[in-house]
A and B are shown apart, each in its own frame.
Chain A
Amino acid sequence: MSGLLVSLQDAVVQGVLWGIMVLGVYITYKLLDIADLTVDGSFALGGCVCAVMILNFHVDPWVALAVAAIAGMMAGAVTGLLHTIFEIPAILAGILTQIGLWSINLRIMGGKSNVPLLKTDTIMSRFIDFTGLNKQIASLVIGIGIAVIMIGLLYWFFGTEIGSAMRATGNNESMIRAQGVNTNWTKLLALVISNGLVGISGGLVCQSQKYADIGMGTGAIVIGLAAIVIGEVLMGRLRSFGSKLTSAVVGSVIYFVIRAVVLRMGMNANDMKLLSAAIVAVALCVPVVVRKLRLKKSYTEGGE
């Protein structure tokens, strides 16, 4: 029983830290209607950059996190430029960046596929030394704190003139262009902000698990989409923008809790990606099936 409790606690911590990535995915997927596959690469990039900054350059873990954010933003900018200036479809532009990042991430880690942070300071270890909390609670407090700050910042930003123009870009591009907004710029900026969040999330996960791994971002986009879907199912009735952002993080927590439970119930860990993919696929299929059934049902041969 206590084993389950520990793994559930772990799951909640992971869910919150990954939830910051989900906020990034929310911006591109829900606001701009772009499935940005850069995320898999930029998440690992954030982790790798963070680990190397701390281990090899001995910088402050908070500074390392900031560098991870900037690295993520640069990755988003590459996808954004490929998509806007060179008109490559968004999905393909994301895949290109993601594949390229695999090699870049290995270069950053000096050719190793795994960089452990065993004896170095992290944001979490410092917080533990300072407060005396246990490891999980400390990670949770930091994760929730950063998530709340990010949600607050995003809520503010999307209420500003630039943020409104960005939302309108996802809504109706021709309309907002007719109102004098350069939609290439808003899309690029959205991808930069989104991947900045993903980089932060990767950096936090790296510091929390005390290692960076070349494969740590694999499937991140699917986790992000699954978390958004779960969040919508649970909190879909809430309409305000702040609660929608919150639901993305909550969805992420629920996702990792479900994962912990099914693993606990004996599911092979290797099957987890299949389960995530199935959750997203079902969530995308259901509305279409419902619409088609309604259409069929509403047909009557004789009319009224």
Chain B
Amino acid sequence: MLDIKNVRKTFNKNTINEKKALNGINLHLNEGDFVTVIGGNGAGKSTMLNMVAGVYPIDSGKIEIDGINISRYPEYKRAQYIGRVFQDPMMGTAAGMEIQENMALAYRRGKTRGLSWGIKSEEKAFYYEAIQKLGLGLQDRMTNKVGLLSGGQRQALTLLMATLQKPKLLLLDEHTAALDPKTARKVLDITQEIVKEQNLTTLMITHNMKDAISIGNRLIMMHEGRIIYDVSGEEKKKLEVEDLLKKFEEASGEEFSNDRMILAK
């Protein structure tokens, strides 16, 4: 499904701020894998997702989806395979446009846009049904501007938009980090439901170790631009937060440095 082969990325090369963000990273995802990604600050988690999505070009290596080499595709071209939800709730939706307009934009992800009407009346029933499943009452506000929604509602909508057109790969970059605990839980529940229903291959960055263990079938830990721990199946289910902390110290020789993770355990 997804193949990341020896990918390297250095920011601000040859300057005093040089930062090796990805250090020859290798990752293979099987169809239907739901992988949680954890790691300290600056471990390269977001960079890895951004490289897959094509936000910045990679320095070397190869990224393939279903055998198609997308390493040199621009961001908008990769979007045909990839659905994304960002950490910032403001980033995933167009605030000045209606809910249904946003959904119509997302429904056309990866398709050629032409001069036919931007939102056809027969689509509206489909959007109504899809958004009703979120259980947030948004189906009665289809013509409201998205800017009127709360952060949690916007993240749930972004998630729905990312999966309205089934993506080959779903990228979730700490998509609940900016939400209050109760809303975060709700959005996480919706995430699991949608991923299960569509059997989506998913990469989810989280700062919550408990979630990282309990959600998905595989967990990877990153440090200094490398994957230092990769666990799946039964072994993953048996993990405890303490095990993860110990693994981190073993692999990196340092104490776990992400305060938020320590606090969230």
Contacts and interface: CB of A to CB of B under 8 A. Distances in A.
A161 to B, nearest CB: 4
A181 B94 contact: no
Interface string A164-193: 110110011011111111110000000000
Contacts of B238: none
Given A177-B75, A179-B106, A180-B76, A161 B93 contact: no
B113 A165 contact: yes
Interface stretch (B95-103, B182-190, B206-214): B95-103
A181 B113 contact: yes
Contacts of A162: 113-115
Contact of A164 (B76, B84, B119): B119
Contact of B96 (A157, A163, A171): A171
Contacts of A160: 114-118
A180 B108 CA distance: 8
B37 to A, nearest CB: 19
B92 A181 contact: no
A65 B105 CA distance: 35
Contacts of A172: 90-91, 93-95
Contacts of A183: 76
A33 to B, nearest CB: 10
B74 interface: yes
A110 interface: no
A19 to B, nearest CB: 24
Contacts of B57: none
B168 interface: no
Nearest to A159: B118
A182 B53 CA distance: 14
B97 A161 contact: no
A289 B105 CA distance: 36
A106 to B, nearest CB: 38
B117 A168 contact: no
A179 B108 contact: yes
A227 to B, nearest CB: 21
Secondary structure call for the B interface: loop
Contact of B118 (A163, A171, A177): A163
B113 A175 contact: no
B151 interface: no
A161 B108 contact: yes
B173 to A, nearest CB: 11
B76 A161 contact: no
A178 B95 CA distance: 15
Nearest to B77: A180
Contacts of B94: 167-168, 171-172, 175-176
Given A161-B108, A161-B114, A177 B79 contact: yes
Contact of B110 (A167, A171, A175, A180): A180
A179 B79 contact: yes
B81 to A, nearest CB: 10
A171 B90 CA distance: 11
Contact of A181 (B76, B86, B101, B117): B76
B231 interface: no
Contact of A180 (B80, B97, B117, B118): B80
A178 B86 CA distance: 10
Interface of B: 53, 74-77, 79-80, 84, 86, 90-97, 101, 104-106, 108-111, 113-119, 161
13 contacts: A160-B115, A161-B117, A161-B118, A162-B115, A164-B105, A168-B97, A172-B90, A174-B91, A175-B91, A177-B75, A178-B79, A179-B105, A180-B79
Nearest 9 pairs between A and B by C-beta? Answer: A180-B79, A164-B118, A171-B94, A161-B113, A168-B94, A172-B94, A179-B109, A180-B109, A182-B76
